[in-house]
Amino acid sequence: MKTALVLGAGGFIGSHMVRRLINEGFWVRGVDLKYPEFSQTKANEFVQGDLRNILLVEDILKTPENTTFDHIYQFAADMGGAGFVFTGENDAHIMHNSVSINLNILDQQVKLNKKLSLNKTKIFYSGSACMYPEHNQLDPDNPNCREDSAYPANPDSEYGWEKLFSERLYFAYNRNYKIPVRVARYHNIFGPEGTWEGGREKAPAAICRKVASLSEDGGTIEVWGDGLQTRSFLFVDECIEATRRLVESDFMGPVNIGSEEMVSINELVDITSKVANKLVKKNHIDGPLGVRGRNSNNDLIRQKLNWDYKLTLEEGILKTYQWINEQIKSKNLARV
């Protein structure tokens, strides 16, 4: 039986990946500070713990058969929407936490491989489009996020710098210790079971929540900035499929995993209003924004992995809106 270790298995993408791997017949161990918030973990074994702790990392890298895993999926990091990542208030913590986790995993895997005279574990690292240079993302209609546009580096946040450093770290361990690594740069992943309130939610979930909270007739929601900033959003099932393809392939990356259906935030609000069948007005207020324009460029992934996204943004938003609407309803019921 194939085995997989999913780090960050209590989070959004990690818990979806656990489900997918279990359905594919893997034996899965999940690790996270917390259990998944919205459903029971499907992992065969779930370890609640802090991956900054080197002793914990040493322990979890061994399978119950005292060998190494076939795959490791590394999703553990401090994530947020713009409200968490772009204010600057959380920079030191974001960088310290993620770098510590990635260093621990790579270093302990090298030690374990040496001890067991093995080197079979493929390690997937979830990088981010936030590592692309700000100067290529000033024009909302024409951002450049090709993989080869990464240098000279100039990410607009410390989160992006850390993601860039860590993808380099994985490739360094590949060069020096032959660790088989796979690196993706995710572009705004969204869908059911993603954070939708509390300050770390991203734009699609935040907008779905705001629209779902309006009365049936609609109303006004707040939008950060002028809403003309552009982004693309990829539905989580498609992200999982692309990631699995990357890990099974011989291609190491780094490669974009995203959608090329770029919209402005105003258009995202309009799509959500349509899906919700509500009349929604926008009140533009100050808020943390990130780069002016961003879109995935999928030329490389199409060429290397023959993968492309299938769902339209509207189809993905419909699934997400319905899920968030249910979350709000059950929360309101629980209060009664």
Residues labelled as active-site residues: 159
- Number of Cβ within 10 Å of residue 285's Cβ equals 9
Instruction: Give least dist CB 220 to ligand NAD, A.
Output: 27
Alpha-carbon gap, residue 208 to 95, rounded angstroms = 29
Instruction: Give least dist CB 193 to ligand NAD, A.
Output: 9
Structure-token pair, residue 174:
């590949």
Q: Tokens 């590592």 label which residue?
A: 131
Q: Which residue among 5, 77, 212, 246 contacts ligand NAD (CB under 6 A)? A: 77
Please report, in angstroms and rounded to a whole number, the separation of the first and last CA atoms in the chain. Answer: 47
Using a 10 angstrom Cβ sphere, with 0-12 exposed, 13-18 middle and 19 or more buried, the burial of residue 49 is middle
Instruction: Give least dist CB 319 to ligand NAD, A.
Output: 16
My answer on whether omega of the bond before 64 falls inside 30° of 0, hence cis, is no
Instruction: Check if the beta carbon of residue 171 is closer than 8 Å to that of residue 183.
Output: yes
Instruction: Give least dist CB 295 to ligand NAD, A.
Output: 14
Instruction: Check if the beta carbon of residue 197 is closer than 8 Å to that of residue 260.
Output: no
Q: Binding to ligand NAD by residue 166, rule CB under 6 A?
A: no
Greatest Cα pair distance, the chain, in angstroms, is 65
Residue whose CB is less far from ligand NAD, 255 or 280: 255
Q: Which residue among 6, 14, 113, 173 contacts ligand NAD (CB under 6 A)? A: 14
Q: Binding to ligand NAD by residue 126, rule CB under 6 A?
A: yes
Q: Which residue among 52, 62, 304, 319 contacts ligand NAD (CB under 6 A)? A: 52
Instruction: Check if the beta carbon of residue 269 is closer than 8 Å to that of residue 204.
Output: no
- Name beta bridge partners: 279: 218
Q: Which residue among 28, 30, 32, 208 contacts ligand NAD (CB under 6 A)? A: 32
- Name beta bridge partners: 27: 3
Q: Binding to ligand NAD by residue 235, rule CB under 6 A?
A: no
Q: At what angle do helices 12-23 and 236-248 cross, to 10 degrees?
A: 60
Is 226 strand, coil or helix? coil
Residue whose CB is less far from ligand NAD, 21 or 51: 51
Torsion sign (Cα): 30, 35, 38, 44: positive
Residues 6+ apart with CB under 8 A from 78: 84, 90, 93, 94, 97, 98, 159
Taking CB under 6 A as the rule, which mask of x and - marks residues 85-124 in contact with ligand NAD?
A: ------------x---x-----------------------
Question: Which among 197, 221, 223, 209 is positioned nearest to 286, based on CA atoms?
Answer: 223
Instruction: Give least dist CB 51 to ligand NAD, A.
Output: 4
Instruction: Give least dist CB 162 to ligand NAD, A.
Output: 9
Q: Binding to ligand NAD by residue 72, rule CB under 6 A?
A: no
Please choose, out of 6-14, 139-147, 213-221, 263-271, the segment that lies near ligand NAD by the rule CB under 6 A.
6-14
Q: Binding to ligand NAD by residue 189, rule CB under 6 A?
A: yes
Instruction: Give least dist CB 50 to ligand NAD, A.
Output: 5
Q: Which residue among 1, 23, 25, 34 contacts ligand NAD (CB under 6 A)? A: 34
Q: Binding to ligand NAD by residue 128, rule CB under 6 A?
A: yes
Q: Binding to ligand NAD by residue 258, rule CB under 6 A?
A: no
Q: Binding to ligand NAD by residue 13, rule CB under 6 A?
A: yes
Q: Using CB under 6 A, list all residues that contact ligand NAD.
A: 8, 10-14, 32-34, 50-52, 75-79, 97, 101, 126, 128, 186, 188-189, 202
